[in-house]
């Protein structure tokens, strides 16, 4: 291919390289079942555990394992990958600690990944209203503020008691 400089007008021969795509086997888990599909990805792209992949149907997934031969590296070039294991990220399990005086109970809420929780919000757990007083995220503890469900490690709640007249 011949290219021309737009400033000085000089011309030179250039070789254009196209990225090669490779079909990669994907195992998609939604927590209940696993589905086997394949996806075309750029051979020279490097994938890392925790990377997000969006399926053609818009499904949001996260890479949970990479198979390269008999190894499970934390990252690899697409050209070297045998199988990618991904988990759906539409719904996430959010752990909740229910503070009851001297005891604490642990429960799990299933929330959409982009749903937000705010310190001070009231949520329903086991048919009881609970007040969020602290949220632990992947990088900090919130005593006030908001966090997305997919960033939350644990939510701390206590029961809301109604005052009578």
pLDDT per position as a tens digit, 137-163: 988 999 999 999 988 999 999 988 765
Residue 163, pLDDT score: 57
The number of distinct structural domains making up the chain is 2
Structural domain ending residue among the three candidates 45, 71, 88: 88
Q: Are 65 and 48 in contact (CB under 8 A)?
A: no
DSSP 115: -
- Is residue 82 domain-shared with residue 104, that is, in the same domain? no
- Is residue 115 domain-shared with residue 135, that is, in the same domain? yes
Strands across the sheet containing 83-88: 34-42, 21-29, 83-88, 60-67, 52-54
Q: Is 5 domain-assigned?
A: no
Which range marks the domain in which residue 122 is found? 91-159
- Is residue 72 domain-shared with residue 111, that is, in the same domain? no
Q: Is 43 domain-assigned?
A: yes
Q: Are 88 and 94 in contact (CB under 8 A)?
A: no
Residue 133, pLDDT score: 95
Angle at 19 between CA 14 and CA 23, to 5 degrees: 160
pLDDT tens for 36-54 read 999 999 999 999 998 888 8
Q: Is 165 domain-assigned?
A: no
- Is residue 98 domain-shared with residue 81, that is, in the same domain? no
What is the residue-averaged pLDDT of the chain? 88
Q: For residue 36, what are the CA distances in angstroms to 33, 69, 72, 123?
A: 10, 18, 18, 37
Question: E strands within 30-127?
Answer: 34-42, 46-48, 52-54, 60-67, 75-77, 83-88, 91-100, 103-112, 116-118, 122-125
Q: Is 76 domain-assigned?
A: yes
Structural domain ending residue among the three candidates 51, 71, 88: 88
Residue 57, pLDDT score: 82
Q: Is 3 domain-assigned?
A: no
pLDDT tens for 78-116 read 999 999 999 887 788 899 999 888 889 999 988 888 899
Tokens of 153: 């490690």
Q: Are 40 and 21 in contact (CB under 8 A)?
A: yes
Mean pLDDT of 64-76: 94
Residue 83, pLDDT score: 95
Tokens of 73: 């590296």
- Is residue 48 domain-shared with residue 97, that is, in the same domain? no
- Is residue 80 domain-shared with residue 112, that is, in the same domain? no
Structural domain ending residue among the three candidates 40, 65, 88: 88
pLDDT reading at 165 higher than 60:
no
pLDDT tens for 4-38 read 888 888 888 877 667 789 999 999 987 778 899 99
Residue 97, pLDDT score: 94
pLDDT tens for 123-136 read 988 888 999 999 99
Q: Is 39 domain-assigned?
A: yes
Q: Is 38 domain-assigned?
A: yes
- Is residue 136 domain-shared with residue 82, that is, in the same domain? no
């Amino acid at each position: 291919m011949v290219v021309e400089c737009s400033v000085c007008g000089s011309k030179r021969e250039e070789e254009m390289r196209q990225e090669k795509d490779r079909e990669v086997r994907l195992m998609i888990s939604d927590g209940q079942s696993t589905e086997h599909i394949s996806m075309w990805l750029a051979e020279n792209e490097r994938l890392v555990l925790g990377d997000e992949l969006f399926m053609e149907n818009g499904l949001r997934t996260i890479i949970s394992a990479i198979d390269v031969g008999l190894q499970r590296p934390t990252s690899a070039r697409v050209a070297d990958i045998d199988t990618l294991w991904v988990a759906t990220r539409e719904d996430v399990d959010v752990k909740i600690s229910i503070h009851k005086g001297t005891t604490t109970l642990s429960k799990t809420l299933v929330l959409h990944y982009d749903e937000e929780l705010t310190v001070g919000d009231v949520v329903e757990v086991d048919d009881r209203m609970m007040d969020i007083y602290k949220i632990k995220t992947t990088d900090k503890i919130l005593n006030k503020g908001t966090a997305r469900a997919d960033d939350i490690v644990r939510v701390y709640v206590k029961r809301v008691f109604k005052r009578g007249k």
